[in-house]
Amino acid sequence: MIWNTLKSRGFLSGYVLVILMLICSVCLQQKDILFPEIAGMAMGVMVFPVPHWIKKPLHLWLSPTIAAFLGTSLNGLSITPLSKLWLGFVIIVVLMHIFRVNFGPTIPAALLPIFLGLHDYVFAITTAVFTFVIMLAAFKVRKPEKLTPSGAQNFRKITDTVIISIILCLWIGLAFATNVEVIVVPPVFALIFEVFHTEKFSWKLIPPRLAVLTLTALLAVGVYHLLPGSIVWVGVINVLITLILCMLFKTPVPVAFGVSLMPLIVPAWGSWGFPVGVFVTTGVLMCMSAAYRQLRNKQAIQQLTERS
């Protein structure tokens, strides 16, 4: 089954797109081109199609592009980096709610340029280019007849959005207060933002996802240290490893592909503390999401009981 996926047109197309990003970064000597979530988006559209992602292909391009430009522009403000991250996060979440965007990777697109302190727009421009390709792929793979009609009942509840936004902002604040960069994991934030709003998210869904993300981070750091300075080969190998992990655990986690490329971006993410950070961040935030969802489901059952 793994071999069939490896030789599938979807995987090869997504893989080529990721490799192209890596090669462009090396050839143009522009590390700012690297956006780990491009790998996650590509796999979440071409290999493990996420229904609510491909439902509105235009959002796959516009949302992260606008977020990347916004995040970069905020670096021009004379405020602390933490304040910029909070401000960028809040603005993006508000825009996502107003325009009914149901695409978690929009959040990393806004946070990463702020976290890296980028002032030119190379990151934003290349994000626009690569996500445009992903949008075209989404148009090709989606099947309109299978899409459920959009409506208020299918979108996020504002109460849930406010609560998870506060939690994530506090988590980012904790990272800055303790100076522990390894617990700032933008791809995981995207995943948590989505699962927090998922009505059927339960405790049993946590272990396989936690295992895939943690092992991905661990092996990604290992490859990074085995092949120091080789951006292309590290990226190529880590994406393959992540695919194999997703298949072995029978748990497709598109954002894990983003995690696999993170060691290439920031020194702290290439340290052996990074897998620990991914484990703690994913474990804590997913447990909070499951507990909250369990509480909300109990409340819903009680309300139905009272009415009947």
**Lowest-confidence region among 96-100, 151-155, 233-237, 247-251:** 151-155
What confidence tens digit (pLDDT) does each residue in 119-145 have?
A: 999 999 999 999 999 999 999 998 765
Q: Is a pLDDT exceeding 60 seen at residue 147?
A: no
In this prediction, residue 146 carries a pLDDT of: 57
What confidence tens digit (pLDDT) does each residue in 153-185 have?
A: 457 899 999 999 999 999 999 999 999 999 999
In this prediction, residue 152 carries a pLDDT of: 38
What confidence tens digit (pLDDT) does each residue in 65-79 have?
A: 999 999 999 999 999
Which residues are within 8 A (CB) of 79 and not within 5 positions of it... i.e. 6 or more apart? 87
The reported pTM is 0.94
What confidence tens digit (pLDDT) does each residue in 273-291 have?
A: 999 999 999 999 999 999 9
- For all residues of the chain together, what is the average pLDDT? 94
Residues 251-264 have a mean pLDDT of 97
How far is it, in rounded angstroms, from Cα 293 to Cα 201? 7
